[in-house]
């Protein structure tokens, strides 16, 4: 149950699926990470999990919403599913949106932003979908605000003519853990870095090396995964500013997930870069993430070092390096990973016969994650 904060305290139930009679939630992710998000939902207690392109839905008790926000390592955003119904015309879409008691979730002081996505559906007009949804929402609020206040996003997702009305309770996307206040050039997002570690299938008992560590993101995420540190423990979420927020459930979720973390000192992770100033930034980021004791930061040129470590890395793609040096880097990377295991992400055109690959996006750049199958 979620509590409404008002002059007359009362409780409101989260929307429930007819099949489970439990609240249900939606998580968005980058294409290619659905399997990781699904597995994580199961680990956090989600039930009746459905995964499709860039979207995972699940049911669970009210506390699951807070566990998903705090504990989701590979997800972009968490949404509260308010309703879903067939909508093949705009009148029906209006009725679906109007039928939601928005006062349970919004105070009317928020600035509402309508987002949309439609696939294989009759309703495709962006301006009309946005206008219809906004009009329906405003019709249920006493004094709706259109210009300022806390920004809240509502996603109208229409798939196969089924309209899903989703309230974004995340705020800043979940890759913003809070520890990376300093970064180098083109840093990899934290949730993608975590995904690389997961896809590489690193065994925590073996040494791991990122020879191009930059701001330290891959090494930090590897340490957090090994120690089972929930990635959202130190950050704020949009739901904390909404009427449907229940502090006791948030506190309970934080306490439970914090208690699952393992102590440091059991893992060997090396983060290396050729630039000392970058290494210092990475070290400070690791301190903010509570994992500095788990990572050895070193200055060094990958081409001059030999290693027997498992590698996970985001090497240079070729924007600032001479072609001969770049080819040497990739030749050595492939050979080292073929021997020791691991993987790397890159948009550089290579052919690694001994490695498998998986298509992923790094920002807007299409890449391949090259890895050794275990």
Q: For the chain, give the number of residues.
A: 374
What are the tens digits of pLDDT across the range 85-105?
Answer: 999 999 999 999 999 999 999
Q: For position 1, what pLDDT does the model report?
A: 32
When the candidates are 3.40.1360.10, 1.10.3720.10, 3.40.50.10140, 3.40.50.150, the CATH number that belongs to 190-231+263-371 is 3.40.50.150
Domain 2-168 has CATH 3.30.2130.30: yes
- Report domain extents, the chain: 2-168, 190-231+263-371
pLDDT of residue 11: 43
Per-residue pLDDT of the chain (374 residues; tens, 9 = 90+): 333 233 233 344 555 555 445 789 999 999 999 999 999 999 999 999 999 889 999 999 999 999 999 999 999 999 999 999 999 999 999 999 999 999 999 988 889 999 999 999 999 998 999 999 999 998 888 766 666 788 999 999 999 999 999 999 999 999 999 999 877 666 899 999 999 999 999 999 899 999 999 999 999 999 999 999 999 999 999 999 999 999 999 999 999 999 999 998 789 999 999 999 999 999 999 999 999 999 999 999 999 999 999 999 999 987 655 577 889 999 999 999 999 999 999 998 887 888 999 999 998 899 999 999 97
Q: Which whole-number Å values give the CA distances from 108 to 2, 112, 201, in the listed order? A: 18, 9, 47
Asked if 2-168 and 190-231+263-371 have one fold, the answer is no
Whole-number pLDDT of residue 186: 65
């Amino acid at each position: 149950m979620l509590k409404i904060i008002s002059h007359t305290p009362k409780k409101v139930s989260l929307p429930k699926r007819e099949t489970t009679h439990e609240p249900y939630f939606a998580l968005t992710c980058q294409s290619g990470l659905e399997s990781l998000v699904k597995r994580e939902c199961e680990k956090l207690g989600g039930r009746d999990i459905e995964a499709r392109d860039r979207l995972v839905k699940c049911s669970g008790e009210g506390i699951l919403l807070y566990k998903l926000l705090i504990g989701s390592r590979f997800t972009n955003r968490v949404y509260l599913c308010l309703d879903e119904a067939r909508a093949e015309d705009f009148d029906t879409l209006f009725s679906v949106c109007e039928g939601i008691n928005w006062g349970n979730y919004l105070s009317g002081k928020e600035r509402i932003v309508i987002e949309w996505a439609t696939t294989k559906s009759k309703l495709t007009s962006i301006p009309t979908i946005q206008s219809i949804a906004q009009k329906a929402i405003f019709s249920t609020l006493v004094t709706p605000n259109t210009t300022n206040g806390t920004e809240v996003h509502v996603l109208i997702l229409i798939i196969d003519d089924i309209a899903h009305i989703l309230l974004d309770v995340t705020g800043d996307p979940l890759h913003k853990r809070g520890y990376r206040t300093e970064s180098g050039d083109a840093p990899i997002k934290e949730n993608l870095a975590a995904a690389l570690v997961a896809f590489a299938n690193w065994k925590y008992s073996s040494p791991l090396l990122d020879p191009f560590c930059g701001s330290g993101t891959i090494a930090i995420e590897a340490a957090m995964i090994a120690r089972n540190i929930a990635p959202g423990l130190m950050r704020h979420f949009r739901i904390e500013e909404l009427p449907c927020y229940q502090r006791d459930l948030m506190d309970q979720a934080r306490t439970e997930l914090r208690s699952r973390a393992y102590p440091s000192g059991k893992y060997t992770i090396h983060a290396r870069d050729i630039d000392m100033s970058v290494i210092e930034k990475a070290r400070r980021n690791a301190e903010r993430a509570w994992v500095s004791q788990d990572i050895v930061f070193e200055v060094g040129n990958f081409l001059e070092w030999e290693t027997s470590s498992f590698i996970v890395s985001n090497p240079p793609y070729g924007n600032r390096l001479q072609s001969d040096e770049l080819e040497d880097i990739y030749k050595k990377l492939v050979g080292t990973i073929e021997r020791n295991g691991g993987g790397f992400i890159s948009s550089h055109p290579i052919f690694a016969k001994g490695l498998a690959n998986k298509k992923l996006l790094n920002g807007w750049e299409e890449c391949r994650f090259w890895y050794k199958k275990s």
